[in-house]
Amino acid sequence: MGFATHLGPWLLGTVKDTTGTTTGQIRNIGATAVAQFKTVAYGDITANTTLAVLPAGASIQNIQFLITTAYTTTNPTLTVYVNGVAITAAITVASPAAGATGITTLAIGTINPALVANVGSTDAMVSFTQANGGGGTGTGILSIAYIVKGADGSIAPTYLQA
């Protein structure tokens, strides 16, 4: 397993230098899709539990919740925030069914979609709250996938001509 740091777009494919305007002669560059993960226990219900810290300008692609140990009462209700501003309404995790394990994708951008497209000009703290129905147990893993962009939110070009 390895971890790396990187700034800027990636050079993709086999064309190192652009020599023309047709495919096979144009070098491709793109942004990196990455993810961060957070183990969530049933009792993690305090406000602003940190999920991840995203680089300035990042665009959130999806947030998934993998329930690894079934919740013994009802599945949690999650709200996700970027720098303290909600990007979701309270989402009750409906799948998998209460008492089961499995994975679900959370609907993001229902509130403040602009923050999903660009987390801002400085690094952003992504946090969540979890509400549970009554006492119980259960654990899961929240994952957040995002695209690294420029600190100003600019998107890396898809190709670069000389």
Provide the pairing of β-strand 27-30 with 139-147: unpaired
pLDDT at 161 (0 to 100)? 55
Per-residue model confidence as pLDDT tens for the chain (162 residues): 456 666 656 666 666 676 777 777 776 666 778 899 999 887 776 667 899 999 888 999 999 989 898 888 777 888 899 999 999 888 777 767 777 888 888 888 888 999 999 999 899 999 988 887 666 788 889 999 998 877 677 765 555 555
Contacts of 20 (CB under 8 A, 6+ apart): 26
What are the structural domain ranges in the chain? 32-153
pLDDT at 72 (0 to 100)? 80
Identify the CATH number of the domain defined by range 32-153. 2.60.120
Confirm if 106 and 78 have CB atoms less than 8 A apart. yes
Going along 5-136, which residue ranges are E strands? 10-12, 27-30, 33-41, 49-54, 59-69, 77-82, 85-86, 91-92, 102-106, 124-131
98 alpha carbon, distance to own chain's centre: 24
- Is this model's pTM higher than 0.85 or not? no
